[in-house]
């Protein structure tokens, strides 16, 4: 058998060869193109795995195939819309009667009455919200009215015009300098060249710090494909910064204490790493990351370290003076290159005020944008906005100068004590556990026996507003001066809510627990992200 097949095979191969040989010139052209295309497909697949991880890539791939099945995409869209409608109906009133056009005849000063009416219909926030409003007491008196007056005095100013609104320019410089002094600018260890700017909020401060670090690292180390590494607990503003500024972001799980895991972060550092981030404390659980260890890492790899003091900036320096055990968190730690601190949170300034600080002018220079070829003239601007509201800068100055060190110390004492009482109260509820060891005034708690999101729904029905957290499922209260008089009321409502859920587990009508529960578990994070975007697209 074999002997008869072999010659035939040889013959076949010979004729195939002579057949193919006529295409040889073509093959010379086609082969490289085909291999180039195959290489590109492989490369982008590897890139995807590199960016999203194996699990997310596989899930994304399977989902894409799955959606090709007729009817599946339609079904998913319909289910998605149901969830969006649910979020909408519980979060937003109907838009009946909302204006969609300028009125023909203006209302004149009567407009103020209408505004008062509308304001009165807002849900009550006094003492009821986590974070949100940090100033204590009644909205029509005390620190509130002082800030209102300061703002209205400067309502029509714009620090873009440095030569005109000199008072506002001075306020801004002083607010920045006074904040820098809280974070070690006067200490020898800081190098004495701390500088910074005011921004519209924590997010803008973070955007600026990331942008400056990116361009500083490009100038210093010629990094052109920048990457940054942050703990899972770092604020979502870093995602925003990375999306806006084309930086690859690595979110690394936290350690057992819910702090930045320095060893895990080290593993992600490579030649493209521009910066790492530590929070003091992080928004979700109010826990301070090991800033000194992160600083050592930053120094040894010659990369930037941003410390997020958005929440802690106007509490930690005072808590330390009061004797609370606060680990180092500022420019006295070697390796810290920038800091963000929100005056509009615990600084008790009006909303729209935050500060970004740098260790030296070399780094900060990369924040500015200078334009030389515009027919509008030579232009240079420090932050994202061009024209800026001078009123809130004046309000921030008023807050800091009116309170002084003693004012902040007194307020810090009050909220630290309220936070301790809340921690104690939560510990006494056996169904609940506190996440980690809160360093400051944020207390996050979850449960192993009941659905904490159902507890949150009951609390919402009693008028409280807390944000649900994930990994693990929990809720937190960011304690402000508004809460000092209502600690017992809060703890009683919390106890009641836990008992209600324990007796009657399951979703309540209009509750969001099932959605939060499900959203945490859906493996296709792309789908959850689409849900969020659809929600926002419907909401505004």
Ligand X SMILES: *Cc1c(COP(=O)(O)O)cnc(C)c1O
Contact residues toward ligand X (CB under 6 A) are 201-203, 206, 235, 237, 279, 283, 308, 310-311, 342, 354
| Nearest to ligand X of 382, 511 (CB atom) | 382
The dihedral of CA 330, 331, 337, 338: what is its sign? positive
Does residue 477 contact residue 426 with C-beta atoms inside 8 Å? no
| Nearest to ligand X of 202, 347 (CB atom) | 202
| Nearest to ligand X of 317, 425 (CB atom) | 317
β-strand partners of 306? 277, 338
The DSSP result for 73-96, as a single string, is: HHHHHHHHHHHHHHHHHHH----T
CB of residue 237 to ligand X, shortest distance in Å: 5
For residue 532, give the nearest of 514, 517, 519 by alpha carbon.
519
CB of residue 159 to ligand X, shortest distance in Å: 19
β-strand partners of 273? 227
E strand intervals along 144-303:
195-199, 227-231, 248-252, 273-279
CB of residue 319 to ligand X, shortest distance in Å: 16
Q: Which residue is nearest to ligand X (CB)?
A: 202
Tokens at 383, concatenated: 């932050």
CB of residue 308 to ligand X, shortest distance in Å: 5
Tokens at 381, concatenated: 């601007």
E strand intervals along 448-502:
467-469, 474-478
CB of residue 286 to ligand X, shortest distance in Å: 9
**Cα distance between residue 414 and residue 129, in whole Å:** 17
| Nearest to ligand X of 261, 342 (CB atom) | 342
Tokens at 239, concatenated: 């995602």
CB of residue 300 to ligand X, shortest distance in Å: 25
| Nearest to ligand X of 311, 326 (CB atom) | 311
**Residue 161 CB neighbour total at 10 angstroms:** 13
| Nearest to ligand X of 197, 203 (CB atom) | 203
| Nearest to ligand X of 202, 226 (CB atom) | 202
Helix, strand, or coil here: 283?
Answer: coil
| Nearest to ligand X of 287, 455 (CB atom) | 287
Does residue 148 contact residue 168 with C-beta atoms inside 8 Å? no
Cα angle vertex 289, ends 285, 293, to 5°? Answer: 165
For 81, 258, 292, 302, 347, the CA distances from 305, given in Å and listed in that order, are 41, 19, 11, 10, 23
CB of residue 212 to ligand X, shortest distance in Å: 17
| Nearest to ligand X of 128, 345 (CB atom) | 345
CB of residue 98 to ligand X, shortest distance in Å: 26
**Cα distance between residue 532 and residue 530, in whole Å:** 5
**Cα distance between residue 508 and residue 486, in whole Å:** 26
CB of residue 414 to ligand X, shortest distance in Å: 20
């Amino acid at each position: 058998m074999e002997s008869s097949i072999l010659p035939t095979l040889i013959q076949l191969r010979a004729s195939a060869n002579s057949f193919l040989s006529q295409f040889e010139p073509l093959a010379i052209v086609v082969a490289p193109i085909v291999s180039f295309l195959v290489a590109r497909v492989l490369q982008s697949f590897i890139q995807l795995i590199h960016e999203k991880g194996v699990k997310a890539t596989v899930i994304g791939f399977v989902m894409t195939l799955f959606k090709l099945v007729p009817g599946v995409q339609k079904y998913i869209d319909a289910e998605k819309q149901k969830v969006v409608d649910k979020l909408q109906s519980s979060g937003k009133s109907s838009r009946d009667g909302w204006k969609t056009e300028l009125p023909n005849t203006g209302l004149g000063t009567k407009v103020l009455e209408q505004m008062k009416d509308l304001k009165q219909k807002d849900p009550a926030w006094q003492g009821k919200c986590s974070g949100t409003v940090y100033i204590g007491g009644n909205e029509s008196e005390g620190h509130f009215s002082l800030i209102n007056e300061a703002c209205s005095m400067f309502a029509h100013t714009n620090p873009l015009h440095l030569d005109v609104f000199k008072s506002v320019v001075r306020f801004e410089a002083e607010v920045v300098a006074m904040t820098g002094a809280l974070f070690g600018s006067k200490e020898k260890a800081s190098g004495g060249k701390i500088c910074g700017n005011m921004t519209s909020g924590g997010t803008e401060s973070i955007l600026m710090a990331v942008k400056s670090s990116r361009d500083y690292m490009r100038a210093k180390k010629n990094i052109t494909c920048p990457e940054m590494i942050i703990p899972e607990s770092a604020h979502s503003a870093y995602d925003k910064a990375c999306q806006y500024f084309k930086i690859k972001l690595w979110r690394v799980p936290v350690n057992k204490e819910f702090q930045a895991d320095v060893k895990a972060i080290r593993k992600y550092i490579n030649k493209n790493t521009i910066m790492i981030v530590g929070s003091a404390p992080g928004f979700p659980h109010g826990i301070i990351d090991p800033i000194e260890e992160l600083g050592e890492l930053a120094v040894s790899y010659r990369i930037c370290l941003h410390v997020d003091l958005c929440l802690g900036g106007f509490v930690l320096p005072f808590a330390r003076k009061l004797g609370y055990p606060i680990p180092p968190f500022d420019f006295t730690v070697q390796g810290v290159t920038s800091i963000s601190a929100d005056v509009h949170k615990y600084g008790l300034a009006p909303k729209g005020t935050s500060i970004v600080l740098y260790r030296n002018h070399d780094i900060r220079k990369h924040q500015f944008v200078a334009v030389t070829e515009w027919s509008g003239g030579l232009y240079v601007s420090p932050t994202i906005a061009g024209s800026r509201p001078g009123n809130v800068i004046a309000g921030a100055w008023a807050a800091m100068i009116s309170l002084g060190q003693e004012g902040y110390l007194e307020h810090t004492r009050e909220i630290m004590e309220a936070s301790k009482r809340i921690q104690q109260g939560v510990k006494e509820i056996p169904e609940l556990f506190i996440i980690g060891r809160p360093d400051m005034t944020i207390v996050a708690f979850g449960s192993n026996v009941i659905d904490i999101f159902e507890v949150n729904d009951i609390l919402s029905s009693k008028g409280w507003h807390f944000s649900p957290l994930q990994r693990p499922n929990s809720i937190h209260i960011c304690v402000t001066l508004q809460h000092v008089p209502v600690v017992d009321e809060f703890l009683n409502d919390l106890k009641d809510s836990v008992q209600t859920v324990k007796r009657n587990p399951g979703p309540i009508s209009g509750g969001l627990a099932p959605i939060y529960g499900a959203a945490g578990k859906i493996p296709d994070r792309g789908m959850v992200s689409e849900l969020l975007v659809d929600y926002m697209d419907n909401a505004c």
